[in-house]
């Protein structure tokens, strides 16, 4: 082998390993940032006195590696430019810092959601959202089955 062949091989190996290191570092950077997965569900909350209330939950799970502080949660309406229907969570729930894999659930009764949306002619909730301490909002679409249930719940209310 000549000196030129060895230099070329070393240069190619250096270029390949340098590119791989850059890609691995970029992937690690993407994984390390704070990320929240948001979901919206509904169901019955049954108390110890055997009374039940239909509830809506907005849940946020930290799927990133870094802790993230959740400071607010709520719903966005159909009508209006990103009209906020409700912000919920009491002093015992929010704000909260979530480590990797931890979750927080905030809730509202269907009655309060209907009051703030259907009865007020503001439309049905389209998205559930949570806001982190940096001001970034993370959203999830409200499932169609939940939207229909809210509408049915509101049919008996005066408009």
Distance CA 130, CA 140 (A): 9
- Determine the longest span between alpha carbons in the chain, in angstroms: 91
Domains of the chain, residue spans: 1-32, 34-154
What is the reported pTM? Answer: 0.76
Per-residue pLDDT, 79 = 67
Other beta carbons less than 10 A from residue 143's beta carbon: 14
Per-residue pLDDT, 86 = 65
- Tens-level pLDDT at each residue, the chain (159 residues): 677 788 899 999 999 999 999 998 888 777 777 789 999 999 888 888 878 888 899 999 999 889 999 999 988 887 665 677 767 666 578 899 999 999 999 988 888 888 877 666 777 888 999 999 999 999 999 999 999 888 888 775 555
Per-residue pLDDT, 57 = 92
Distance CA 71, CA 137 (A): 10
Distance CA 115, CA 157 (A): 9
Per-residue pLDDT, 34 = 77
Per-residue pLDDT, 28 = 79
Q: Which residue has the tokens 């927080």?
A: 104
CATH topology of domain 34-154: Immunoglobulin-like (2.60.40)
Per-residue pLDDT, 129 = 92
Token pair for residue 77? 């309406």
């Amino acid at each position: 082998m000549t000196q030129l062949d060895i230099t070329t091989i070393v240069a190619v190996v250096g270029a390949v390993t340098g590119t791989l290191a850059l890609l691995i570092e970029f992937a690690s950077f993407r994984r390390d940032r704070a990320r929240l997965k948001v979901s919206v569900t509904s169901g019955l909350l049954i108390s110890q006195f055997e009374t039940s209330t239909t509830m809506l939950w907005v849940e946020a799970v930290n799927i990133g590696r870094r802790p993230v502080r959740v400071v607010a949660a709520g719903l966005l309406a159909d009508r209006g430019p990103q009209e906020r229907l409700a912000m919920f969570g009491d002093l015992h729930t929010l704000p909260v810092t979530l480590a990797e894999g931890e979750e927080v659930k905030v809730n509202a009764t269907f009655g309060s959601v209907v009051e703030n949306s259907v009865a007020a002619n503001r439309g049905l909730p389209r998205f559930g959202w949570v806001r982190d301490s940096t001001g970034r909002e993370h959203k999830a679409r409200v499932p169609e089955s939940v939207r229909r249930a809210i509408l049915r719940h509101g049919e008996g209310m005066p408009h």
